[in-house]
Amino acid sequence: MIDWLELAESLITSPWLYAVLIAVSCLDSFLPLIPSEAVVVVAGVYAATGKTDLVLVIAATTLGAFLGDMVPYVAGRLLGPRVLKRLPPGTKRRRAHDWFTRQLDARGGFVLVTTRFIPVGRYLATLSTGIVGYPLGAYMAFVGFATATWSAYTVLTGYLGGVIFQENTLLAIAVGLALAFLVTGVIEVVRHLRRRGGAVATETTVE
């Protein structure tokens, strides 16, 4: 098994680092065990010392994440007809499918952008988006924005740690990872509260 973090650090001053960033960001879009955030943060930390190029790090991780998010979407589109055959009208699973389709129609951009910051959420959202047949053009636009935002925030958290703790690389990496996970946690809490608020509002309307 490849140690992506060790590989990235061994290539930190090499142009091949950007190929590694593309690969790890791409694979992480559909393989949960790939530690892309840690690798990207490390590249951001070293950008603060001038050993990596900040713009290229962001560009490489954005490209990799975008290409990676296309994989589950395409898989979902291919699986869509088979899935629908197993979801007869009137069943609970079919109602869940139809509900998710309506949510994407109403707020597809919000769903795709916020779930990009949630490791498990991103896989489910991109695959499900393909299964329900979400328009390719809209999907690419929202995923392009989501991956660019995710890349910039992840790289810059590492960069910030590198700027503050230039004399201690390990501490800079630790701070960068902590900031990245903190933001991800805040997003998940906000998303959970919005979902609960929506459920309460629906129950109130029904009553």
3-state secondary structure the chain: CCCHHHHHHHCCCCCHHHHHHHHHHHHCCCCCCCCHHHHHHHHHHHHCCCCCCHHHHHHHHHHHHHHHHHHHHHHHHHHHHHHHHCCCCCCHHHHHHHHHHHHHHHHHHHHHHHHCCCHHHHHHHHHHHHHCCCCHHHHHHHHHHHHHHHHHHHHHHHHHHHHHCCCCHHHHHHHHHHHHHHHHHHHHHHHHHHHHHHHHHHHHHHC
Range with the largest mean pLDDT of 16-20, 80-84, 134-138: 16-20
Is the predicted pLDDT of residue 121 greater than 60, yes or no?
yes
Average pLDDT over all residues of the chain:
79
CA angle, residues 127, 23, 188, in degrees to nearest 5: 45
Is the predicted pLDDT of residue 24 greater than 90, yes or no?
yes
Q: In this predicted model, what pLDDT tens digit does every residue of 135-185 receive, in sequence order? A: 999 999 999 999 998 898 888 888 887 666 455 545 545 555 565 556 555
- For residue 27, what pLDDT band results from cuts at 50, 70 and 90? very high
Residue with tokens 């459920």: 199
Is the predicted pLDDT of residue 202 greater than 50, yes or no?
no
What is the spatial distance between Cα 207 and Cα 133, in angstroms, rounded to a whole number? 33
Span 188-194, average pLDDT: 56
pLDDT at 133: 87
What is the spatial distance between Cα 45 and Cα 41, in angstroms, rounded to a whole number? 6
Share of the chain above pLDDT 90, in %: 27
CB 25, CB 65: distance < 8 Å:
yes
Q: State the amino acid at position 87 in one-letter form.
A: L
Span 4-24, average pLDDT: 91
Q: Is the dihedral of CA 171, 177, 179, 182 positive or negative?
A: negative
Higher pLDDT, 165 or 88: 88
Q: State the amino acid at position 185 in one-letter form.
A: G
Is the predicted pLDDT of residue 50 greater than 70, yes or no?
yes
Q: State the Cα torsion 133-188-32-12 to the nearest 10°.
A: 120
pLDDT at 182: 61
What is the spatial distance between Cα 23 and Cα 169, in angstroms, rounded to a whole number? 24
Share of the chain above pLDDT 70, in %: 77
pLDDT at 38: 83
